[in-house]
Amino acid sequence: MAFLSIPKVPVLRYYKLLRTYLAALRWPVLALCALVALNIGLQLINPQVLRVLIDTGLSSSAAGIAGPALLFAGLALVQLLATISADYAGEWIGWTAANRLRADLLEHCLMQDGSFFQAHPAGELIERIDGDVRGLSGFFAMLTVSLCGNLGLIAGVLAVLFYENSWMGAAMTLFVAAALLTFGRIREWTLPFWVRVGEAGADFYACLGDQLSHTEDTRSSGAEAYALYKFRRMLRQWFPRHMQAGFGFSLMWAASVVILGLGTVLVLALGTYLWTGDSITVGTLYMMLFYMGLLAGPIDQIRDLIGNLQRAEAHLERIGGLLAEVPIIRDPEPGEEAPLGEGPLSVDFRGVRFGYGGESGSVLSDLTFSLQAGQSLGIVGRTGSGKTSVIRLLLRLYDPAEGTVLLGGTDIRRVPLAQLRERVGLVTQEVRILSGSVRDNVTFFASHIPDERIVEVLDQLGLGDWYRALPSGLDTEIRAQGEGLSAGEAQLLALARIFLRNPSLVILDEASSRLDPSTEEKVQQATNRLLQGRTAIVIAHRLNTLRGVDRILVMDGGRIAEQGSRQALTEQPGSRYSRLLRQTSGKETI
Ligand SMILES: Nc1ncnc2c1ncn2[C@@H]1O[C@H](COP(=O)(O)OP(=O)(O)OP(=O)(O)O)[C@@H](O)[C@H]1O
At 68, is the pLDDT very low, low, confident or very high (cuts 50, 70, 90)? confident
What are the pLDDT digits (tens) for 465-480? 888 888 888 888 887 6
Query: How much is the average pLDDT of 162-166?
Result: 87
What are the pLDDT digits (tens) for 92-120? 888 888 888 899 889 888 888 777 887 78
Burial 407-441 (b: 16+ CB within 10 A, else e): bbebebbbbebeebeebbbbbbbebebeeebbbbb
Is the beta carbon of 383 within 6 A of some atom in ligand 1? yes
What's residue 61's pLDDT? 65
At 359, is the pLDDT very low, low, confident or very high (cuts 50, 70, 90)? low
Largest Cα separation within the chain, whole Å, is 122
Are 307 and 388 found together in one domain?
no
Nearest to 390 by CA among 502, 576, 539, 239: 539
Nearest-CA residue for ligand 1 atom 7 is 356
What are the pLDDT digits (tens) for 509-539? 876 666 677 777 767 777 777 777 889 999 9
Q: Tell me how crowded residue 343 is: count the other CB atoms within 10 A of its CB.
A: 12
215 within domain boundaries: yes
CA of 355 to the centre of ligand 1 (A): 10
Are 429 and 317 found together in one domain?
no
What's residue 307's pLDDT? 65
Is the beta carbon of 361 within 6 A of some atom in ligand 1? no
352 within domain boundaries: no
Are 385 and 292 found together in one domain?
no
Is residue 589's pLDDT more than 70? no
What are the pLDDT digits (tens) for 261-283? 888 888 888 888 888 888 888 88
What's residue 491's pLDDT? 77
CA of 400 to the centre of ligand 1 (A): 15
Are 286 and 388 found together in one domain?
no
CA of 510 to the centre of ligand 1 (A): 14
Is residue 587's pLDDT more than 50? no
Is the beta carbon of 123 within 6 A of some atom in ligand 1? no
Q: How many domains does the chain have?
A: 2
Q: Residue 51 burial by CB count (10 A; 0-12/13-18/19+): exposed, middle or buried?
A: buried
Q: What's the CA gap between 371 and 368, in Å, rounded?
A: 11
Is residue 443's pLDDT more than 50? yes
Are 426 and 315 found together in one domain?
no
Atom of ligand 1 nearest to the CA of 392: 18
CA of 388 to the centre of ligand 1 (A): 7
CATH of the domain at 426: 3.40.50.300
CA of 384 to the centre of ligand 1 (A): 5
Give the chain's mean pLDDT: 82
Query: How much is the average pLDDT of 184-207?
Result: 78
Among 323, 338, 366, residue at a domain's last position: 323
β-bridge partners, 436: 478
Is the beta carbon of 386 within 6 A of some atom in ligand 1? yes
Percent of the chain at pLDDT exceeding 90: 14
CA of 210 to the centre of ligand 1 (A): 20
Domain span at residue 132? 14-323
Q: What's the CA gap between 260 and 275, in Å, rounded?
A: 22
Q: What's the CA gap between 459 and 479, in Å, rounded?
A: 22
Query: How much is the average pLDDT of 353-379?
Result: 87
Is the beta carbon of 389 within 6 A of some atom in ligand 1? yes
Are 167 and 27 found together in one domain?
yes
Nearest-CA residue for ligand 1 atom 5 is 356
What's residue 412's pLDDT? 93
What's residue 145's pLDDT? 66
Could you give the ipTM of this predicted complex?
A: 0.96
Query: How much is the average pLDDT of 218-244?
Result: 82
Percent of the chain at pLDDT exceeding 70: 90
CA of 311 to the centre of ligand 1 (A): 40
CA of 398 to the centre of ligand 1 (A): 13
CATH of the domain at 148: 1.20.1560.10
Is residue 493's pLDDT more than 50? yes
Is the beta carbon of 518 within 6 A of some atom in ligand 1? no
134 within domain boundaries: yes
Dihedral of alpha carbons 138, 139, 145, 151, sign: positive
Are 190 and 89 found together in one domain?
yes
Atom of ligand 1 nearest to the CA of 385: 21
Q: Tell me how crowded residue 215 is: count the other CB atoms within 10 A of its CB.
A: 11
SS3 516: coil
Following CA atoms 137, 139, 145, 149 in sequence, which dihedral angle do they give, to the nearest 10 degrees? 180
At 78, is the pLDDT very low, low, confident or very high (cuts 50, 70, 90)? very high
Is the beta carbon of 351 within 6 A of some atom in ligand 1? no
Instruction: Specify the range with the lowest mean pLDDT, choosing from 134-138, 348-352, 377-381.
Output: 134-138
Among 323, 340, 360, residue at a domain's last position: 323
What's residue 483's pLDDT? 60
Is residue 142's pLDDT more than 50? yes
408 within domain boundaries: no
What's residue 514's pLDDT? 65
Pocket test for ligand 1, best of 388, 430, 556 (most atoms within 8 A of CB): 388
Nearest-CA residue for ligand 1 atom 3 is 356
Is residue 73's pLDDT more than 50? yes
Query: How much is the average pLDDT of 461-465?
Result: 82
What's residue 511's pLDDT? 67
Nearest-CA residue for ligand 1 atom 29 is 384
Are 316 and 379 found together in one domain?
no
Query: How much is the average pLDDT of 412-430?
Result: 87
Query: How much is the average pLDDT of 488-499?
Result: 81
Are 298 and 381 found together in one domain?
no
Are 312 and 168 found together in one domain?
yes
* Residue ranges with strand state E in 89-135: none
Is residue 4's pLDDT more than 70? no
At 375, is the pLDDT very low, low, confident or very high (cuts 50, 70, 90)? very high
Which has more confidence, 221 or 25?
25
Query: How much is the average pLDDT of 429-442?
Result: 81
Q: Tell me how crowded residue 59 is: count the other CB atoms within 10 A of its CB.
A: 10
Instruction: Specify the range with the lowest mean pLDDT, choosing from 289-293, 496-500, 508-512.
Output: 508-512
CA of 512 to the centre of ligand 1 (A): 19
What's residue 12's pLDDT? 61
Residues whose CB is less than 8 angstroms from the CB of residue 537 and which lie 6 or more positions away in sequence, other chains included? 347, 371, 376, 377, 378, 379, 390, 391, 394, 505, 506, 507, 508
What's residue 7's pLDDT? 42
What's residue 360's pLDDT? 60
Dihedral of alpha carbons 377, 381, 383, 387, sign: negative
What's residue 358's pLDDT? 58
Instruction: Specify the range with the lowest mean pLDDT, choosing from 44-58, 185-199, 349-363.
Output: 185-199
